[in-house]
A and B are shown apart, each in its own frame.
Chain A
Amino acid sequence: MKIINEMKIQFMSKSVNESFARTAVSAFVTQLDPTINEIADIRTAVSEAVTNCVVHAYRGTIGTIDICVRILEDNEVYIKIRDRGCGIPDIKQAMEPLFTTAADEERAGLGFAVMESFMDKLSVRSKLGSGTTIIMRKKLTSCGD
């Protein structure tokens, strides 16, 4: 798939950066002239993914989070979010709605469910001890150049 535009950011896994990450990604995607609902979906999905890195991947420690956003042909947005944290032992279980390992911190266990339902595609790759990469894609209905 042809890459029309691309941006990359790297930041520390501090919870205050959850807001920075979703804002930065949505600012980049704005060039596609998305609808309010499309941008809200993307902001929410990015927020969930970055929160997973902060809460789970780097639990109690600080590491780096990398985000790569691409604009592909046909108004498709590609978002890759990568951490070098602990990894997910059982991806299938982690993706089950309401499954959480942090219930006492009031985590609802809905992060992946939100990403799946708000974006068109979600893929998760993870290796224990080396980290997790998620890729999300969404085709926008907009027709901005």
Chain B
Amino acid sequence: MSVKLIVGSEKITAILSGEIDHHSAKGIREKIDTAILENHPQELILNFSQVSFMDSSGIGLVIGRFKVMQGVDGKIAIEGASQQISKVMRLSGIDRLATIKS
């Protein structure tokens, strides 16, 4: 699991890759939060297009980043989620917190 951050003036795109579970989510959390707190973006985009597996730890990751973005008055969006990932996301009702882009 790794994350690549593209930091713009108004938005940060976090390109996640690999498998997201409880073990791997820990490390990427801090990386994204540091970038948010340093740059205060209006939008955080979490890109899942290179994520091959995600369990509910990924939901915790999204909800956690939603809260951090709320702290800087920003929004959160999700893009590139596969069928398996979308299934986990639908179950969580996370679409009420984040915009889900195709």
Residues of A within 8 A of B (CB): 15-16, 18-19, 22, 37, 40, 43-44, 47-48, 51, 54-55, 97, 105-108, 110-111, 113-114, 117-118
Contacts and interface: CB of A to CB of B under 8 A. Distances in A.
Contacts of A54: 22
Given A19-B23, A47-B21, A110 B29 contact: no
Interface stretch (B42-50, B72-80, B84-92): B84-92
B59 interface: yes
Nearest 10 Cβ contacts at the A-B interface: A106-B60, A15-B23, A110-B56, A108-B59, A40-B84, A47-B55, A106-B64, A108-B60, A51-B22, A18-B21
Contact of A19 (B19, B64, B83): B19
Given A19-B21, A114-B88, A43 B53 contact: yes
A48 B54 CA distance: 10
Contacts, number: 69
Q: Which of A16, A43, A108 has the most CB of B within 10 A?
A: A108
Consensus secondary structure, chain A interface: helix
Nearest to B20: A47
A44 B84 contact: yes
B61 interface: yes
Contacts of A22: 53
Given A48-B55, A108-B56, A55 B22 contact: yes
Contacts of B21: 15, 18-19, 47, 51
Contact of A44 (B25, B55, B92): B55
B57 interface: yes
A125 B77 CA distance: 39
Contacts of A47: 21, 53, 55
B98 interface: no
Nearest to A107: B60
9 contacts: A18-B21, A40-B87, A51-B22, A97-B91, A106-B60, A106-B61, A107-B57, A107-B60, A113-B91
